[in-house]
Chains A and B, each alone.
Chain A
Amino acid sequence: MNTTVTTGTEESVWGGGNRPLNASYGKMMMWFFIVSDALTFSGFLVSYGFSRFKFIETWPIADEVFTHVPFFHGNYPMIYVAFMTFILIMSSVTMVLAVDAGHKMKKNRVIWYMFATIIGGAIFVGSQAWEWATFIKGDYGAIETKGGRILQFVNAETGKRAALADFSTTLPEDRVKHLSSEGVWFEKEGYKTSFSLNEVVEGFKATPNILIRTETINEEGEKTLLSRQESLAKLKDAALVVEGANLIRNEYGSRLFADFFFFITGFHGFHVFSGVLINIIIFFNIIIGTYERRGHYEMVEKVGLYWHFVDLVWVFVFTFFYLV
Chain B
Amino acid sequence: MAHEHKLEIFRGLWKFKSNVQKIWGVLAFLSLVTAVEVILGIYKPEFLTKNYFIGMKLLNWIFIILTLVKAYYIAWDFMHLRDEKSSLRRAIVWTPVFLICYLIFILLFEADYIYNVFKDGFLAWNF
Contact = CB atoms under 8 A, between A and B. Distances in A.
Interface string A39-60: 1001100110111111111000
A76 to B, nearest CB: 9
Contact of B41 (A20, A78, A86, A311): A78
A257 to B, nearest CB: 15
A17 interface: no
> Which 9 residue pairs spanning A and B have beta carbons closest together?
A53-B111, A21-B88, A319-B67, A82-B38, A147-B127, A50-B111, A308-B78, A50-B107, A54-B111
Secondary structure type dominating chain B contacts: helix
A56 B35 CA distance: 27
B92 to A, nearest CB: 6
B23 A100 contact: yes
For chain B, the bracket of interface size reads: 35 or more
A23 interface: yes
Interface of B: 1, 3, 19-20, 23-24, 26-27, 30-31, 34-35, 37-38, 41-42, 49, 60, 63-64, 66-67, 70-71, 74-75, 77-80, 84-85, 87-88, 91-92, 95-96, 99-100, 103-104, 107-108, 110-112, 114-115, 118, 125-127
B115 A316 contact: no
Given A54-B118, A82-B35, A319-B64, 13 more contacts: A35-B95, A39-B96, A42-B96, A54-B114, A54-B115, A77-B42, A86-B31, A89-B34, A92-B74, A93-B23, A146-B127, A312-B71, A323-B60
Interface centre among B74, B104, B110, B125 (most CB of A within 10 A): B74
A309 interface: yes
A79 B37 CA distance: 11
A85 interface: yes
A89 B28 CA distance: 10
Interface of A: 20-23, 31, 34-35, 38-39, 42-43, 46-47, 49-57, 63, 77-79, 82, 85-86, 89-90, 92-93, 95-97, 99-100, 103, 146-147, 149, 221, 296, 298, 304-305, 308-309, 311-312, 315-316, 318-319, 322-324
Contacts of A42: 96, 99-100, 103
Contacts of B3: 103
Interface centre among A54, A86, A308 (most CB of B within 10 A): A54
Contacts of A308: 74-75, 78-79
Nearest to B20: A100
Nearest to A89: B30
Contacts of B23: 93, 96-97, 100
A35 B92 contact: yes
Given A42-B100, A46-B103, A50-B108, A93 B92 contact: no
Contacts of A90: 27
B83 to A, nearest CB: 10
A221 B49 contact: yes
B63 A21 contact: no
